[in-house]
Amino acid sequence: MVRVMPAAREQAVGQGAVPRELQDVFEKTFRYGNCLGENPRRRALWTRGAGVPVRVLPQDPGPVDVLFYVEDYWSYHPRGQQAAQAFARVATALGVDFAILGPEERTVGDSQRLAGERGLFEALAEQVMATLAKYQFARIVTPDPHAFNALLKEYPKRGGHYEVLHYTQLLAPLVDRLPMRSDLPPRRVTFHDPCYLGRHNGEYDAPRSLLRAIPGVELVEMARCRENGYCCGGGGGGMWLDGLSGSHTRERLSERRVREAAATGAEVLAVCCPYEVSRFEDAAKSTGNEQLVVRDIVELLDEAMVKSADGGGGDGA
């Protein structure tokens, strides 16, 4: 099934059978290098609200340990920008040496590939690898499980060999050094495993170790979790097809998943994929579960962190 569905979508795209919503995304990606059709020069604007310095490599070149590959939704979507800012504060507090590509970043393009636009993906991969070749870094860290998947599995087939981590894998070994508040109230939190971090790439523990490190958090699992996790409906182009799928289904996958999260009695649904905050927040409203707060894990870490006067969380050890 993993190989069959992308192949079927690719054949449909080749025959011109592309839903209008999806074609719009393909055109925006081709023209602007991101699925939202935003100006590439605005990619780094989220950094202005971070409260900590964020190095932009085209403006300040030189070797860096972590190249933070922000991807589209954390760069441009308002809720994604909040998570990106939280990551910058947490990484700074932990003394992580990181930088971004800013206006030179393009989407890695894995969702476009899975949606059937292999030609677009190939062009993006060539452009991304050419940009990466200009800079010196030890590893790439991304918040996007789809970008993580492509850089880990697809780019090496095309000559792009990098050490790649999801941001939870970067932070999990360091989280014990993060200064945490002692006045946090107890909260029940459930976690949604992203398909392309969990089932496709086998990472289940890093996100959970971060959640368990937060004072007051009681982690409760949904019935479908880890290897048996359930899709949010955003992968493979689904993020851009809610209008089409809404006319053919009685309930979106994200709505079903929110009902499962609410059934645990959790107050917070934690996620670690840029697609999921906005998807689940919408689903919480449409299913009458507004009491369920949706947060990216890094937002929860940021909320729990003791802030220093400069906006960070400590001296970086």
Paired tokens of 126:
């060539």
The pLDDT, as a whole number, for residue 276 is 85
The pLDDT, as a whole number, for residue 239 is 53
Convert 239-276 into a string of H (helix), E (strand) and C (coil).
HHCHHHHHCCCCCCHHHHHHHHHHHCCCCEEEECCCCH
Strands 137-142 and 64-68: parallel
Q: Which residue has the tokens 């991807």?
A: 71
Give every CB contact of residue 248 below 8 A, 6+ residues apart in sequence: none
SS3 content of the chain, % helix, strand, coil (to 5): 50, 10, 40
Paired tokens of 257:
């998943």
**Per-residue pLDDT at 262 exceeds 80:** yes
**Per-residue pLDDT at 162 exceeds 50:** yes
Could you give the C-alpha distances from 84 to 97, 142, 173, 239, in angstroms and in order?
A: 16, 10, 20, 19
The pLDDT, as a whole number, for residue 230 is 65
27/236: higher pLDDT: 27
**Per-residue pLDDT at 244 exceeds 50:** no
**Per-residue pLDDT at 14 exceeds 50:** no
How does residue 310 score in pLDDT terms, banded at 50, 70 and 90?
low
Backbone φ, ψ for residue 227 (5° rounding): -60, -25
- The share of the chain scoring above pLDDT 90, in percent, equals 70
Which CATH number is 177-304's, of 3.40.50, 2.60.120, 1.10.760, 2.60.40? 3.40.50
Of 132-136, 208-212, 308-312, the least confident: 308-312
The pLDDT, as a whole number, for residue 300 is 97
Sign, CA torsion 22/229/270/253: positive
Q: What is the DSSP string of 88-126?
A: HHHHHHTT--EEE-GGG-----HHHHHTT-HHHHHHHHH
254-273 average pLDDT score: 92
End-to-end CA distance of the chain: 46
Average pLDDT of the chain is: 87
Separation between Cα atoms, residue 7 and residue 116, nearest integer Å: 7
The pLDDT, as a whole number, for residue 224 is 83
Paired tokens of 198:
């969990």
The pLDDT, as a whole number, for residue 226 is 82
Could you give the C-alpha distances from 155 to 22, 119, 235, 248, in angstroms and in order?
A: 23, 14, 19, 35
**Per-residue pLDDT at 33 exceeds 90:** yes
**Per-residue pLDDT at 11 exceeds 50:** no
Q: Which residue has the tokens 């880990």?
A: 152
How does residue 20 score in pLDDT terms, banded at 50, 70 and 90?
confident
252-281 average pLDDT score: 90
Separation between Cα atoms, residue 69 and residue 34, nearest integer Å: 13
297-313 average pLDDT score: 81
For 68-114, the pLDDT digits (tens) are 999 999 999 999 999 999 999 999 999 999 999 999 999 999 989 98
96/226: higher pLDDT: 96
7-23 average pLDDT score: 56
| CB contact at 8 A, 226 and 191 | no
How does residue 4 score in pLDDT terms, banded at 50, 70 and 90?
very low
270/202: higher pLDDT: 270
**Per-residue pLDDT at 213 exceeds 90:** yes
How does residue 2 score in pLDDT terms, banded at 50, 70 and 90?
very low
* Beta-carbon count within 10 A of 186 CB: 9
| CB contact at 8 A, 102 and 125 | no
- Which residues of the chain are in CATH 3.40.50 domains? 177-304
Its pTM stands at 0.88
* Beta-carbon count within 10 A of 53 CB: 13
Report CA 61 to chain centroid distance, whole Å: 25
The pLDDT, as a whole number, for residue 311 is 52
SS3 55: strand
